[in-house]
Amino acid sequence: MSATTLFDKLWDSHVVNRREGFPDVLYIDRHYIHEVTSPQAFDGLRKRGIPVARPDRTTATADHNVPTKDQHLPIKEALSRFQVETLRKNCREFGIELYDLLHPFQGIVHIIGPELGLTQPGMTMVCGDSHTSTHGAFGSIAFGIGTSEVEQVLATQCILQYKPKQMRIEVNGKLGKGVLSKDIILYIISQISSSGGNGYFVEYAGSAITNLSMEARMTICNMSIEMGARGGLIAPDQTTFDYVKGRKFAPQGEAFEEAIAYWKTLKTDEGAQYDKVLTFNAEDIEPMITYGTNPGMGIGITERIPTVAELKDHREEASFKKSLEYMALEPGSQLLGKSLDYVFIGSCTNARIEDLRLVADFVKGKRKAANVEVLVIPGSKQVEQQAIREGLDKVFEEAGFELRSPGCSACLGMNEDKVPAGKYCISTSNRNFEGRQGPGARTFLASPLSAAAAAITGKVTDVRELI
Amino acid sequence: MQKEKFKSLTSTVVPLPIENIDTDQIIPARFLKATTREGFGENLFRDWRFDNNGNKKDFILNNPNYYGDILVAAKNFGCGSSREHAAWAIHDYGFKVVISSFFADIFKNNALNNGLLPVQVSDEFLSKIWAQLEADPHSTIEVNLEAQKVILADGSSESFDINPYKKACLLNGYDDIDYLLSLKDRITQFESAN
Ligand code: SF4
């Protein structure tokens, strides 16, 4: 047999039907759903008069527009309440497990799946949300889908898909002080642009990747979509197995040993071909920050924003200018020292317990600057509870940070957590699009450490000078 | 479920010569809260069409000189969030075709799943379209799905790609779930074998 990639192996073993000129029928092991992209799909089932094929393979949570304060009270905003109530009704009617507000397992869908052990190596997983790519960190195929596709999976546990092209991204070497996995991925996207991964599924490899914890790997895979890729994965190894072991829905005892035996086979063969291979050096990466309105518009923290003349592609000129105008920034200027108004530590990119620990560790005994408001939104109820058990809540309180209840929050501003128009926010989330954090809001994407440093100084800061 | 059949269309055009239009611009997140597929057209390009007080801004969709079933946009249309609402909003507003020199993958799929035809043309051909519309905003473009061709007012044309499966779906008004449900036995077989 010829050498194949991990992606090939996983894909091919999940193809139920293949027909010339038609998309593959791909079997889905786990389907995550949330309140925003599922209602129309359930509506579709109802119109067709069919049930959910495999409610046991479907997991629901409420995350996108839930409030992060007073979660025990009815949701104030009428439409948000309606969507969450619709999800409840649909889950009841179709027999799906829902981790609703206040449930100990509730949280951002891409945080709870791995944390509950629902996400496992070798699986295929989908969700009506582009950051489903997060779950690829376990050596599985995971990608975001549209609502019509959610309906396909609800109806048949399968989805129609063409096999994407494959790219390998290797990052080798040792990360510098104060450089996190978020900086790796922001760096890669800044190098290849927000459309550089279009049409590809990415496998990340190299020593800088395999040295990362599972949490940090998830941050990398999470943002695969921000370079336009369908998803990203990392071959499972001992770090992966140790993370999965003992989690609520992971195989237990003998079943776990059997699972590991299989998971160990999940690797790309020596000599397997990719459509594209990129290699980067970890030593070249400094803490990153974005200056524009797509995640590809990133620079090292000590670098200047490019000038029009320095643009790699002159066709980008119009959107570059529009973007800087929106951000009220000058081409060629530095971001270091730029005064901020908000700091948002949260989202499926960086709101796992490791992120909160890192931030707490840095801010311990320090106090936030007077000019910034700092929001810390844990990714899940479990992260929140763990943070409290470890006393991180006290650290945040003393620093003047506000620790709230879990949800997507100001990552997309669907609930009341919005950044006001014209204000600057340094954010650990994944998108800096116009209006993403609220109409007119201006977002700088960065790592949790860079965000923590900015919270203390009140301005864009090189965290390396403070550690 | 039976959807509208699509064979060929000749229409005036709405030009949007902006690159990297992301789905947050097409339909801002705060309008995603409906639970049916209809009505999103009202908020298509909301923040470009209206200011915070609901007053119309200077934007092409507010310009009575431009109307029609075809939207033409610059490179990398539909990037960003995977929200299918973007495709619904464009379709619900009344567009049947979007032409661009590049589409983001998920958007393209979402469009095809919802009876909205994404037509990818070369950069050169796109420049020709801009030129035609500049010369005459009321001129028309023909999009022929059967022949897989876009034809401009001066008769010049370019072929476009579409996957044979999606083409069959659009031409016949056939839908993905109809197809998947027809494979039910095979799916059950797969489940018991794995
Ligand atoms: S945290 Fe942000 S990116 Fe992640 S699922 Fe929620 S809205 Fe999407």
Name which of B40, B82, B113 to mutate to probe chain A: the one with the most chain A Cβ atoms within 10 A of its Cβ. B82
Q: Ligand 1 in contact with A179 (CB < 6 A)? A: no
| Interval A258-303: pLDDT, tens | 999 999 999 999 999 999 999 999 999 999 999 999 999 999 999 9
Q: Ligand 1 in contact with A149 (CB < 6 A)? A: no
Is pLDDT of A379 > 90? yes
Cα distance between residue B20 and residue B73, in whole Å = 9
Query: In degrees, to the nearest 5, what angle opens at C-alpha A411 toward C-alphas A232 and A32?
Result: 50
Residue B175: which of A148, A143, A127 has the closest Cα? A148
ipTM exceeding 0.85?
yes
Taking CB atoms and an 8 Å limit, are A316 and B36 in contact across chains? Answer: no
- Give me the sign of the Cα torsion angle A444, A450, A453, A455: positive
Of B110 and A222, more confident? A222
pLDDT of residue B36: 75
Q: For A195, which of B25, B28, B79 is closest by C-beta distance? A: B79
Which A positions 319-348 lie with beta carbon below 8 A of chain B?
Answer: 319, 322
| Interval B115-147: pLDDT, tens | 899 999 999 999 999 999 999 999 999 999 999
| Interval A64-109: pLDDT, tens | 999 999 998 999 988 889 999 999 999 999 999 999 999 999 999 9
Q: For B82, which of A21, A130, A156 is closest by C-beta distance? A: A130
Tell me the percentage of chain A whose pLDDT exceeds 90: 93
Task: Report the gap between the CA of A366 and the closest CA in chain B (Å).
Answer: 35
Q: Ligand 1 in contact with A106 (CB < 6 A)? A: no
Q: Which ligand 1 atom sits closest to the C-alpha of A411? A: 2
Can you say how many angstroms the Cα of residue A36 is from the centroid of all Cα atoms in its chain?
A: 17
CB < 8 Å to B87, chain A: 146
**Ligand 1: centre distance to CA A131 (Å):** 7
**Which residue in B has a C-alpha nearest to residue A295's C-alpha?**
B80
Task: Report the gap between the CA of A118 and the closest CA in chain B (Å).
Answer: 18
Name which of B2, B21, B23, B30 to mutate to probe chain A: the one with the most chain A Cβ atoms within 10 A of its Cβ. B30
Is pLDDT of A24 > 80? yes
| Interval A424-444: pLDDT, tens | 999 999 999 999 999 999 999
Q: Ligand 1 in contact with A348 (CB < 6 A)? A: yes
Taking CB atoms and an 8 Å limit, are B106 and A294 in contact across chains? Answer: no
| Interval B140-170: pLDDT, tens | 999 999 999 999 999 999 999 998 898 988 8
pLDDT of residue A1: 62
Residues whose CB falls within 8 Å of the CB of residue A62, separated by 6 or more in sequence, listed in order: A34, A35, A84, A87, A98, A99, A100, A101, A106
Predicted confidence band of residue B1 (pLDDT cuts 50, 70, 90): low
| Interval B179-188: pLDDT, tens | 899 899 999 9
**Which residue in A has a C-alpha nearest to residue B182's C-alpha?**
A156
B131 touches chain A (CB under 8 A): no
Taking CB atoms and an 8 Å limit, are A40 and B37 in contact across chains? Answer: yes
pLDDT of residue B35: 72
| Interval A305-340: pLDDT, tens | 999 999 988 878 989 999 999 999 999 999 999 999
B54 touches chain A (CB under 8 A): no
Q: Span A391-395, mean pLDDT?
A: 98
Predicted confidence band of residue A147 (pLDDT cuts 50, 70, 90): confident
Of B171 and A298, more confident? A298
Element (H, E) at B14: strand B8-16
**Ligand 1: centre distance to CA B14 (Å):** 32
Q: Span A395-415, mean pLDDT?
A: 95
Tokens of A180: 């996190």
pLDDT of residue A155: 98
**Ligand 1: centre distance to CA A299 (Å):** 23
Cα distance between residue A355 and residue A447, in whole Å = 9
Taking CB atoms and an 8 Å limit, are A439 and B109 in contact across chains? Answer: no
pLDDT of residue B47: 94
Tokens of B160: 């476009």
Q: What are the distances in angstroms from CA A347 to CA A67, A143, A257, A355, A390?
A: 14, 17, 33, 11, 21
| Interval A186-222: pLDDT, tens | 999 999 999 999 999 999 999 999 999 999 999 999 9
Buried/exposed code over A262-277 (b: 16+ C-beta within 10 A; e: otherwise): ebeebebeeebebeee
| Interval B37-64: pLDDT, tens | 778 999 999 999 999 899 999 999 999 9
Q: Ligand 1 in contact with A430 (CB < 6 A)? A: yes
Tokens of A194: 């927000």
Cα distance between residue A399 and residue A60, in whole Å = 35
Is pLDDT of B2 > 60? no
A154 touches chain B (CB under 8 A): no
Residue A360: which of A352, A370, A369, A348 has the closest Cα? A352
**Which residue in B has a C-alpha nearest to residue A151's C-alpha?**
B177
Question: How are beta strands A165-172 and A141-144 bridged, if at all?
Answer: unpaired
Residues whose CB falls within 8 Å of the CB of residue B188, separated by 6 or more in sequence, listed in order: none
CB < 8 Å to B73, chain A: none
pLDDT of residue A260: 98
Whole-prediction pTM: 0.86
pLDDT of residue B172: 82
For chains A and B, CB pairs below 8 A equal 162
**Mean pLDDT for chain A overall:** 96
pLDDT of residue A106: 97
| Interval B63-91: pLDDT, tens | 998 999 999 999 999 998 878 899 999 99
